[in-house]
A and B are shown apart, each in its own frame.
Chain A
């Protein structure tokens, strides 16, 4: 069975600060890993996906994630937060999603 755990339902950062959203997964097979973003009352959009070609994956809007098999983690980072990054972020392994992390960016 596959499952996803996102640590921290809410994360608050100042504009310009580092963003770190944590995701741990469990999978009995090599995982298909994704990060999606959701703005209020909308569907989800893909930020990035792990394809096994590289452990560091770059996505849209300056986000990236690092796949660490030994830690079963796929944490999402962005070096400098922007006000427009405020949204809810979901980690997924195949079609199983985590509970989400709401990111707030303070001016």
Chain B
């Protein structure tokens, strides 16, 4: 089955620790995205990548980092610089950025204690 996987579904970390969230797709999509979802705020764009080895900051990139070494993979690192990291994180992909719908993973709920 083609799709997007995110792991783990639930993640707990201590304050001050970096943590990496996994996102893999086998849809052969060029574009990938990371969003943060908080109650009442919808989805806010953290980073996006249009092609391998290229990525751009979204609206709330501070305290996050990404890499795109392979077409299939777009991991997100939540660093200790992110002031309020507890949230639901969603990864998505699309054929490209121009007018094509996004396909979403099931999400990772990160709780920082």
Interface size class of B (residues with CB under 8 A): 20 to 34
Number of interface residues of A (CB under 8 A): 21
Please state if A51 and B99 are interface contacts (CB–CB under 8 Å): yes
Docked-complex contact B107 and A100, CB < 8 angstroms: no
Q: Is the interface of B mostly helix, strand, loop or mixed?
A: strand
A45 touches B104 (CB 8 A): yes
A95 pairs with B97, CB closer than 8 A: yes
**Minimal beta-carbon separation of A83 from chain B (angstroms):** 23
- On chain B, the residues within 8 Å of A32 by CB distance are 98-99
Closest to A51 in B: B99
Chain B nearest CB from A28 CB (Å) reads 15
Alpha-carbon distance between A42 and B106 when the two chains are bound, in angstroms: 5
Q: Which residues of B contact A6 (CB under 8 A)?
A: 42
